[in-house]
Amino acid sequence: MLEQAGLEFEVRSPEFDEEEVKRAFEGDSEILARTLAAGKAASLAANSGDWVIGSDSTVTVDGVRYSKPGDRDEAATHLRSFSGRTMLLSSAVALARKGNVEWVHTETAKLHWRSLSEQFINAYLDQEWPEVSYCVGVFRMEGRGVTLFDRVEGSHFTILGMPLLPLLGALRDRGQMPS
């Protein structure tokens, strides 16, 4: 997304233990997504004058928060749990510099899952595994994951994992992009 928007950037892994934060966190999934995005950005911005972008997403279905599947069997279990239900996907993005988080934005999309047969789930995972193992919702909207839904409400970019348009606005506000 960033490349397509014309941004020059470097990808680095954050020095941030998100699993520890998730285990200790109790509360709203939007706030968790914000906390994770901000923590990632701040961890890389600690010793840098560069702007650092951090992002993360959470998935909740019927009040249950899901993590990325550990293996294919767990992915199938997640898909069965999502079938015929509404998923809330919260994506957050943060900007930090010199260790300080200066801006955070969160958006939530509603994804209405169609009912999935066992045959479909197996065929889907045959085609999409292991790529979807990296996705908290076990789908890639830019791939076959689009076939999982009856309808979606929310920004396409939020569903892809980062509220891009608000981020671009924040970068323009900070003189990092032409306005």
Could you give the residue numbers annotated as active site? 56
Q: How many Å apart are CA 148 and CA 111, to the nearest integer?
A: 9
Distances (CA, A) of 53 to 7, 70, 71, 134: 12, 26, 29, 19
Query: How far is 178 from 88, CA to CA, in rounded Å?
Result: 33
**Dist. CA 147–CA 153, nearest whole Å:** 15
Half-sphere exposure for 58 (CA within 13 Å, toward CB):
26
Pick the closest to residue 53 from 114, 5, 89, 88 (CA basis): 5
Q: Is 8 exposed, middle or buried (0-12, 13-18, 19+ CB in 10 A)?
A: exposed
Q: Give one word for 36, left, alpha or beta, with left for phi > 0 and alpha for psi -120 to 50.
A: alpha
